[in-house]
Every structure is written in C-alpha cells, then in structure tokens.
C-alpha cells in the first residue's frame, strides 16, 4: 500500500467498513451496531480498522472501544452470535471468536507507565483518553457506531498523516513508555510505504541509544518479531530495523545484515519464506554460543530454538557437503534430522553454489525418497525384530537414493542378499 494522496470518502465510513468485512466479522459488527444504536451506547471502531479502510485496504482485525464495560458487551455479543468469549479482567478487555473471525472489545482507558518496558497501569477513561494512549497518530482514529452518519474522531492529526504518508508518535516519550513501539513503527512504515516523521525517528534513535529495548521482556520482543515475520514483506522490515540498530539492541547476535541481504529480492518482493525460515536467515551467521544466548533472550519456544540451532549446525556442515561430490545418500545422511525451515533458508543464504544445489535437491527430492518396503515387510521376509530392521531400512534408503535399487522387487533382492550375508557371518563364527 503506497502513501495515500486521497483518502476514501469519509462521509460514508460505516458503509466502507461494512464492505471490507464479511462472514463472522460482518455478523459481529452488525450486532455491535444494533446495540449501540438502540441504547446510544458509546462504542467505537478504532485504530487499524479505520486506518485501513481510509487507505482503501481491507480490514485485518476489527477492534472496538466502549466507554463502559467491555467484558459485559462482549458477553452479550457472544450470547447473540454463538461466539466464544475470552475475558482479560486486568485490562478490562475481551475477545469474541466466531469461526474464523475474531474481534477485540476494550473498555476505554487511561494508561500510566511506571518505567520503560513495563506493562502499564490501567484505569477507566474516555475515548479521548483511549486514543491518547495509542502508539501512532494513524492508529488514533475512531468511528462512533451509534450514529447514522458518524464523523471520524481525530484528536491527533492522524488523517493528515495518512495523507502525507507519515508515521508519527503522539508524544515525545512514546517509545520510552513502550519500546516495542519501535518495532511496530518500522513494521507500519514498510508495510504502508510511509516514512518515519523526523521527530519520531529522532525519538526512536534516542530510545535505542539509551538501551531501553533491553528493559523489555524476551516474550514481548518475540511477539513483535513474530508479527514482523508474518508480514508480506518481512525482509524490508528486518533490513530497515538492522540498519537503524534496532536488531542489535534486541541482541548483539542480530547485528549482521549480510544473510538477509543475500536473500535475493527480500527487500522488494515477498520471498516465499515462512516465519521460521526468516528466523533461520537471521541466525545463519551466529556461533553456537550466540545462538543459545539469543534463544534465552527471546524465550524462544522449542520449535523456534530448534531452527536456530539447526541453522548454525547446518552452516558448520557446509564444508562436508562440498566434499561429498554430490553423492545423494551422503547428503541425506548429513541433512536428515535438520529442521526443513533451516535447510530451506540456508539454501538461499549460503555463499556456496554447490551447497545451494545440494540443499535444493534434498528438499525437492532426496528427503522424500524412502524404500517401498517397511519394517513389517522385512520381518515377513525373515529379518529378526530389533536393531537389524533399522539397519536394513537405512541400507535400502541409501541404495534407493544412489540409484542402486529402483523397484520393490530390487529392494527384496537386496534384503535377501543382506540376510544371506548376515547368516553366513553367523555360521562362520
């Protein structure tokens, strides 16, 4: 989405929002509107929902703010629509899930941050209070739902920033209050094709230089990183964050841009990598100790931690792959057990054309080549249960990979010869 020079017709924003949702989202939206209209309940669509409609895009998430009891409103919505309800009492918020659709309902609130990186202290507030706690002006927009022809509420110049394509904080201490906003600012900048407003950029750099990102918990940083990796163009966000020094401040192990920049087209096109493959590219140049430190800093779950460790291990195995002269069974022996996400990412960032070729062949061919015979087949042919079954299956797979057997009958002949050889060894003993 490029910076908007013309916004959608704001005289009919509700119609634009209705046209941007369907299914469960539309059902939940209409349920909220009916309740708001009947009782003049002060409930608003807020944030990204309004922003994206004004930019002519589609709504990813419907967010509502009510000047009142959000959990109670969410309970009524779930009862009416049959949706599932999840209440977060501490923050006076609730989530209603209906099939594939999900909405968040929040009580208008004030927030006070006692220290950088801490979760805020929350108290009831008005819509003005609630919009004032938002991260950026373009997300501090609200649309009343109890009026027939509502006007967009904009206390902070969000509409002007949408027109000019600017990412701007609401106050100078915004990044200090919540340093994770730094990652969100870069994510919005790259997704929307906007630019960080000059004062906002200076505030960001000052917050990074003062080390406030180190005050944020690993779990919160990982959540923001995961959201970046789910973007259509994560490479653009990551490279921008790297050049701004943000990734290095999250952890020194993330200071290198080389692996990401080796991803051809990563900065300009959506390379077909999933989040774990991007994580692998970030991890490619790490040492084992740096990888473990990163895993600990970001409290990575097991699947993520495995990808980091496997990427580092695979990079260290590259010299062995080059020396194998492309013997398929040996390639498979080295790569079996490595997370596929790591193998796929390393195939893109390695500086060795031969390693790139071998990893590609493994991903496309070798890993799928397995014997036609299985363990039960072997036992029916007289192979004793136990370790010998596994050894023969591995021998069959190596033979299949190297083209020594191609049919099930050829596999059976090989098994018979192996059994005969095994029997002869026993009798000689």
d(CA 292, CA 332): 26
Q: Is residue 187 part of a domain?
A: no
DSSP-derived 3-state class of residue 172: coil
306 and 424 both lie in a single domain: no
Predicted confidence at residue 5, as pLDDT, reads 45
* 339: pLDDT strictly greater than 90: yes
Report which DSSP code applies to 52.
Answer: H
CB 291 within 8 A of CB 283: yes
* Distances in whole angstroms, Cα of residue 148 to Cα of each of 26, 36, 290, 406: 17, 11, 58, 72
d(CA 216, CA 223): 11
pLDDT-derived band of residue 426, with 50, 70 and 90 as boundaries? very low
Q: Specify if 284 maps to a domain.
A: no
Confirm whether 262 is domain-assigned.
no
Same domain, 385 and 405: yes
Q: Are 273 and 345 in contact (CB under 8 A)?
A: yes
In a domain, 16, yes or no: yes
Domain boundary at 165, 189, 215, which?
165
Q: Comparing 144-153, 277-286, 290-299, which segment has the lowest mean pLDDT?
A: 144-153
- Quote the percentage of the chain above a pLDDT of 90: 61
CA dihedral 378, 383, 385, 390 (to 10 degrees): -60
- Same domain membership, residue 383 and residue 316: no
At 272, the pLDDT band (50, 70, 90 cuts) reads low
pLDDT of residue 265: 58
Residue 429 scores a pLDDT above 50:
no
Which is it for strands 101-107 and 121-124: parallel, antiparallel or unpaired?
unpaired
Let me know if 80 is exposed, middle or buried by CB neighbors in 10 A (0-12, 13-18, 19+).
Answer: middle
Nearest of 407, 402, 340 to residue 371 by alpha carbon: 407
- For the beta carbon of residue 380, count every other beta carbon within 10 angstroms: 9
Average pLDDT, the chain: 88
Residue 423 lies in a domain: yes
pLDDT of residue 228: 93
Q: Are residues 362 and 311 in the same domain?
A: yes
For residue 126, give the H/E element and its range. none
258-271 pLDDT, tens digit each: 777 777 555 555 55
Give the β-pairing of 153-154 and 141-144: antiparallel
195 belongs to a structural domain: no
Total domains in the fold of the chain: 3
Q: Is it the case that residue 171 has pLDDT exceeding 80?
A: yes
For 29, list phi and psi in degrees, rounded to 5: -60, -45
For residues 17 and 60, membership in a common domain is answered with yes
Same domain, 31 and 125: yes
Task: Compute the distance between CA of residue 369 and CA of residue 86 in angstroms, rounded to an integer.
Answer: 46
CB 160 within 8 A of CB 4: no
Element housing 245 (H / E): none
Would the pLDDT of 381 be above 80? Answer: yes
Residues 56-76 have pLDDT tens digits of 888 888 899 999 899 999 999
pLDDT for the residue 4: 43
Residue with tokens 């006007």: 151
pTM of the model: 0.84
Torsion of CA 273, 279, 280, 283, to 10 degrees: 150
What is the reported pLDDT for 428?
Answer: 37
What SS3 state is found at 22?
Answer: coil
Q: What is the pLDDT of residue 6?
A: 58
Which of 322, 347, 368 finishes a domain?
368
| Contact present, 143 and 14 (Cβ < 8 Å) | yes
> Tokens 């369907």 appear where?
22
Range of the domain at 160: 1-165
Residues 82 and 7 in one domain: yes
209 belongs to a structural domain: no
pLDDT over 90 (residue 172): yes
Q: Considering the domain boundaries, does residue 263 fall inside one?
A: no
pLDDT value for 61: 83
Q: What is the pLDDT of residue 427?
A: 36
Give yes or no: residues 6 and 90 share one domain.
yes
- Mean pLDDT on 187-202: 96
CB-based contact 224:206 (threshold 8 Å) = no
Question: Which phi-psi region, left, alpha or beta, contains residue 150 (left: φ > 0; alpha: ψ -120 to 50)?
Answer: beta
The last residue of a domain, from among 96, 130, 165: 165
1 shares a domain with 37: yes
Rounded distance between C-alpha atoms, residue 337 and residue 346, angstroms: 15
Q: In CATH, what number is assigned to the domain containing residue 24?
A: 3.30.460.10
Residues 306 and 390 in one domain: no
pLDDT band of residue 1 (cuts 50, 70, 90) is very low
| Residues 57/154, Cβ–Cβ less than 8 Å | no
**Are residue 78 and residue 107 in the same domain, yes or no?**
yes
User: What pLDDT, on the 0 to 100 scale, is given for residue 269?
Assistant: 57
Structural element, H or E, at residue 367: none
> Is residue 361 located within the same domain as residue 391?
no
Mean pLDDT of 251-256: 85
């Amino acid at each position: 989405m490029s910076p908007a020079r013309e916004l959608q017709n704001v005289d009919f924003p509700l119609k634009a929002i209705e046209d941007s949702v369907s299914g469960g989202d539309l059902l939940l939206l209409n349920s909220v509107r009916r309740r708001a209209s009947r009782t003049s309940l002060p409930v608003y669509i807020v944030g990204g929902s309004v922003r994206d409609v004004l930019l002519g895009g589609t709504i990813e998430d419907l967010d509502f703010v009510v000047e009142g009891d959000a959990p109670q409103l969410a309970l009524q919505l779930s009862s009416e629509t049959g949706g599932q309800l999840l209440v977060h009492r501490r923050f006076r918020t609730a989530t209603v899930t209906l099939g594939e659709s999900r909405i968040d309902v929040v009580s208008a609130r004030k927030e006070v941050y006692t220290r950088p990186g801490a979760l805020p202290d929350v108290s009831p507030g008005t819509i003005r209070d609630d919009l004032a706690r938002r991260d950026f002006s373009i997300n501090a927009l609200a649309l009343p739902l109890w009026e027939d022809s509502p006007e967009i509420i904009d206390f902070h110049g969000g509409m002007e920033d949408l027109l000019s394509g600017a990412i701007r904080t609401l106050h100078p201490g915004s990044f200090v209050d919540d340093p994770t906003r730094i990652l969100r600012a870069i994510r919005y900048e790259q997704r929307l094709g906007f630019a960080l407003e000059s004062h906002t950029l200076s505030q960001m750099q000052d917050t990074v230089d003062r080390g406030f990102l180190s005050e944020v918990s690993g779990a919160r940083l990982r959540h923001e990183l995961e959201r970046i990796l789910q973007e259509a163009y994560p490479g653009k966000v990551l490279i921008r964050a790297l050049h701004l020094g943000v990734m290095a401040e999250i952890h020194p192990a993330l200071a290198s841009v080389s692996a990401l920049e080796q991803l051809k087209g990563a900065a300009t096109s959506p390379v077909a990598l999933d989040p774990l493959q991007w994580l692998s590219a970030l991890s490619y140049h790490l040492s084992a100790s740096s990888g473990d430190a990163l895993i600990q800093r970001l409290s990575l779950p097991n699947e993520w931690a495995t990808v980091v460790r496997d990427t580092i291990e695979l990079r260290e195995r590259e010299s062995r792959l080059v020396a194998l002269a492309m013997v398929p069974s040996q390639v498979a022996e080295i790569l079996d057990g490595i997370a596929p996400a790591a193998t796929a990412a390393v195939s893109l960032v390695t500086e060795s054309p031969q390693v790139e070729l071998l990893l590609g062949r493994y991903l496309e061919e070798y890993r799928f080549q397995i014997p036609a015979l299985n363990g039960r087949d072997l036992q029916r042919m007289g192979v004793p249960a136990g370790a010998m079954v596994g050894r023969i299956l591995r021998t069959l797979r190596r033979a299949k990979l190297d083209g020594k057997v191609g049919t099930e009958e050829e596999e059976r002949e090989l098994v018979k010869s192996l059994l005969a050889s095994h029997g002869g060894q026993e009798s000689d003993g």
